[in-house]
Structure 1
Amino acid sequence: MTGTQPGTRPADPDTPATGRSPRVGRVRFAVLGLLFVGITINYIDRAAISVSLPHISQDFHIPPAVAGLIMSAFFWTYAFGQMPGGWLADRFGPRVTLFFASLWWGVATALMGLARSTGMLIVLRMVLGLGEAPSFPASAKVVARWFPKTERSFASATFNNGNAVGGALSIPLVALVVAAVGWRGAFAAAGGLGVLWAFGWWLYYRDPEHHGQLKKPEMEYIKAGQNRADAPEQTAVRWRDLFRFRLVWAMMLGFFCVNFVAYFFITWFPSYLVETYHLSTMKFGFLGMVPGLASMVGGWCGGLVSDWLVRRGTPITKARKLCLVGGLLGTSVIALAVVSPSVGMALTALSASYFCSTFAAASVWALPGDIAPTPGHVGSIAGIQNTAGNIAGIVSPLLLGVLMGSSGSFVVPLVTAGCVALLGAATYAFLLPKVEPLRLDRGPSGTMG
């Protein structure tokens, strides 16, 4: 963050010394609320496979390693669709991008209910991943356009919390629908939610300059906190140039580690509880919500703490690192689940881990807006970061499935996840340089080679 020295208040004149945001309007939070609902539905559609998998495995006689393959197939296209998805968000804007993306992922989810073989499930999971790929880069762009830097981490935590809410809600909701009409009907219902949200987004969302409900005081407050005076829009930055920066590589590796653990909860967590503690589908449907609820609280706490530090005058590098490193150190307690003698103690360790994971993720998603050389690069940088983060979505369920299948339990997978969290903490602590807008024209010390 340029223009802010250690121990001083932020230069934003609209941010009072108390560290509180002024009351200038709430339209930006209405936009954020709608975005949060969209990401929630996104994750319900994505996570429906996890709750349905025990039933699908029985119907298609699927062994654990193949089940891991089905879950990871989503991330083959989702991960490598991130950079194109970020480009689409920068090129066409978040309104158009998220509308078509949501239509795509809603229809793809519904079609999974028609699958007749393992091969069809794998193909449809890949189609679903491609449709969902632009969602997070476009969401990061919405936050960068609608929120000043002093509110960006909380806003990022809010839309990112849609994954925790969607993951938590998918457990009881999908379990109830599966119990009532079967897993095929559950996919149809989940897909319909995505289609409905697409039209709601199209009708309501506009950029701040074109939103009919946004008043002048709120517009001025948003613009005053963008911190782009030293980075004109016409700055030319090629995609390959972004990879010269150690900052970008540290963001990629760090987010890989965050997501490696997070995707355990999205993929293998239902099977872990059901198989380890012999829970019925309905009992799991409610107990399984506990880590998800903890993660919601963790995300908002991480966003509030990071933004509070920035408003109090903490350099943005220190504010982001404290939350990233501390959050990932806490995430590593997932390994303690292996020594838990009861389902209650296991849920306590897993809930603490998921709380800390989303605590860190709030700052993860604030970083693209913090470092983008112009507003036109936020989606692209978010896409680059999320590409690496979701390569973990390919590696994590597949590797953990192989480890579980070869060892016969979840001990080795959970310990592995804890070690990856520690690697992430070290990455953010020692590899992440100063957090500031990237500047190719002055040869920053954070470049590679």
Structure 2
Amino acid sequence: MIEELGITRTDIGLMGTVFSWTYAICQLPAGYIIDKIGAKRMYFFAVGVWSIATALMSVGHNMGQFLSFRFLLGVGESPNSPNSSKITTEWFPREERGQASGIWDSGSKWGSAVAPPLLTVLSLALGWRAMFLIIGVLGLCLAVGFWAFYRSPEESKRLSDEEYRHILAGRDDVTKPKQHLPWARFFTYRQTWGMMLGFFTSIWIWNIFITFLPLFLQDTLGVSVASTGWVAAVPYFVAAISGIYSGRITLKLARDRGMTSIRSKKSVLITACIGLGVLLVVVPFAHNLVVAVVILCLALGLVAAIQSQSWALTSDIVPDTHVAQFGGIMNFGGYFGGALAPVVTGLIYDRTGSYTPTFIVAGGIAALGALFYAVLVRKPIVAETGNQAL
């Protein structure tokens, strides 16, 4: 695209930013709608829309068109993570949700691992336009498959009575009066801001990698275009495994160490933020390809741990009935601020020819995440029945 259309690194970053801002703003209504209409309907709609947006990229010829398609992509992708969090609360007891969230969140990392080599092959063999069209069609097939096969626990015919009772035992007590948590009220509590700011730190870094990792490998470490996909895939494979394993750690901390569900997840989050900050500062000073890839693997592994356990933590902060809504608010905060990362990175590189300032700033932002989670996220938000005060 850069060679054919003459677009710049700043243009690439702008496309990432437009997607992220749209994605962020649409989180707010998406979470509310999910809690109202259910996960199955919303997931079918979301995957369908983002697949159409991806396919449309194949017919774009200028930045105006590409930015419009990226806007539509942001609308379609926005319900995905809150929806997955909602499904987790339906299918898993509270103490198991950290592990479950690690597994589903790893999907974005597996996808990012498989995509670079696969899309590189498709682009070189068929052209970048055909690549976007093929991926869009595959997404539509996924939407239809999900609608045909997904069932809630209440509808599933494959669950035993014992399994169903285990799921119900781990949900909120349905015999208690339902708590009413007004949507706008969430923004008045420090737990909400702690989750938003903490998630922002990981999304800032994630957006840098998802937009610029292939270009960083080519521009800084001399990796060829043909080899970029395979090299870029390695850190995402590690991230996928890390996301799953981080959930296993929270489960063991809760069961073996007697930690509360909140404390077990916060322990992982705070440790991961500090470690990530150190690794990012080191990245630009690793000039050997193998060493750089190892550091990138560790860094993206910690990003995955932060993201998966942030999603798991949402169900510890609010009642199950409000998880998608609260998760949408957290994701809004993360992506609204994190949306600036791609365009800032592109501007810095176009003006300096270096990614070093980007990684040093990102390291400081990552370390701040530990502070946000430690200080602002300490206990659940609880509504008082009767007057619904918080």
- What's the TM-score once normalised by structure 2's chain length? 0.95
Q: How many residues align?
A: 388
Query: Residues 339 and 269 from structure 1, CA distance in 2 versus in 1: closer, same or farther, beyond 3 angstroms?
Result: same
What SS does the aligned partner of 1:113 have? helix
1:214 alignment partner in structure 2:
159
Counterpart of 2:296, as a letter, is L
Report whether the alignment pairs 1:257 with 2:201.
Answer: yes
1:99 alignment partner in structure 2:
44
Out of 304, 308, 323, the position equivalent to 1:358 is 304
In structure 1, distance between residues paired with 2:97 and 2:70: 32
Out of 185, 190, 214, the position equivalent to 1:241 is 185
In structure 2, distance between residues paired with 1:283 and 1:248: 42
What SS does the aligned partner of 1:210 have? coil
CA-to-aligned-CA distance 1:357-406 (integer Å, 9 cap, x gap): 11222210112211223x32111001001101111441111112122222
Query: CA contact under 8 A between 1:65 and 1:398: conserved in structure 2?
Result: yes
What SS does the aligned partner of 1:288 have? helix
In structure 2, distance between residues paired with 1:240 and 1:381: 11
In structure 2, distance between residues paired with 1:294 and 1:301: 10
In structure 2, distance between residues paired with 1:132 and 1:190: 14
What SS does the aligned partner of 1:209 have? coil
Counterpart of 2:96, as a letter, is E
In structure 1, distance between residues paired with 2:243 and 2:301: 7
2:136 alignment partner in structure 1:
191
What SS does the aligned partner of 2:46 have? helix
Out of 372, 387, 390, the position equivalent to 2:318 is 372
2:3 alignment partner in structure 1:
58
Query: Residues 239 and 413 from structure 1, CA distance in 2 versus in 1: closer, same or farther, beyond 3 angstroms?
Result: same
Report whether the alignment pairs 1:276 with 2:212.
Answer: no
Range with bigger deviation, 314-323 or 109-118: 314-323
Query: Residues 335 and 210 from structure 1, CA distance in 2 versus in 1: closer, same or farther, beyond 3 angstroms?
Result: same
CA-to-aligned-CA distance 1:275-305 (integer Å, 9 cap, x gap): 1122222211111111101101210111000
Which of the two has greater helix per residue? Answer: 2
What SS does the aligned partner of 1:341 have? coil
Q: CA RMSD in A?
A: 1.8
1:174 is displaced (CA, Å) by 0.5
Paired-residue identity, %? 31
Query: CA contact under 8 A between 2:283 and 2:296: conserved in structure 1?
Result: yes
Report whether the alignment pairs 1:321 with 2:266.
Answer: yes
In structure 1, distance between residues paired with 2:386 and 2:252: 31
1:413 alignment partner in structure 2:
358
Counterpart of 2:33, as a letter, is L
Query: CA contact under 8 A between 2:57 and 2:66: conserved in structure 1?
Result: yes
2:334 alignment partner in structure 1:
389
Query: Residues 358 and 442 from structure 1, CA distance in 2 versus in 1: closer, same or farther, beyond 3 angstroms?
Result: farther
In structure 1, distance between residues paired with 2:293 and 2:386: 50
Out of 354, 367, 371, the position equivalent to 1:422 is 367
Counterpart of 1:277, as a letter, is L
In structure 2, distance between residues paired with 1:163 and 1:59: 29
Range with bigger deviation, 317-326 or 223-232: 223-232
1:343 alignment partner in structure 2:
289
In structure 2, distance between residues paired with 1:441 and 1:243: 20
2:34 alignment partner in structure 1:
89
In structure 1, distance between residues paired with 2:342 and 2:141: 30
Query: CA contact under 8 A between 2:262 and 2:313: conserved in structure 1?
Result: no
Structure 2 regions of 5+ residues with no counterpart? none
1:232 is displaced (CA, Å) by 3.3
1:274 is displaced (CA, Å) by 1.0
Q: Output aligned runs, 1:4-15, within 5 Å.
A: none
In structure 2, distance between residues paired with 1:418 and 1:391: 19
Query: CA contact under 8 A between 1:404 and 1:412: conserved in structure 2?
Result: no
Query: CA contact under 8 A between 2:180 and 2:383: conserved in structure 1?
Result: no
Structure 1 regions of 5+ residues with no counterpart? 1-55
Query: Residues 230 and 282 from structure 1, CA distance in 2 versus in 1: closer, same or farther, beyond 3 angstroms?
Result: farther
1:134 is displaced (CA, Å) by 0.6
1:142 alignment partner in structure 2:
87
Counterpart of 1:346, as a letter, is A
Query: Residues 100 and 115 from structure 1, CA distance in 2 versus in 1: closer, same or farther, beyond 3 angstroms?
Result: same
Query: CA contact under 8 A between 2:204 and 2:339: conserved in structure 1?
Result: no
In structure 1, distance between residues paired with 2:365 and 2:338: 13
1:433 is displaced (CA, Å) by 1.6
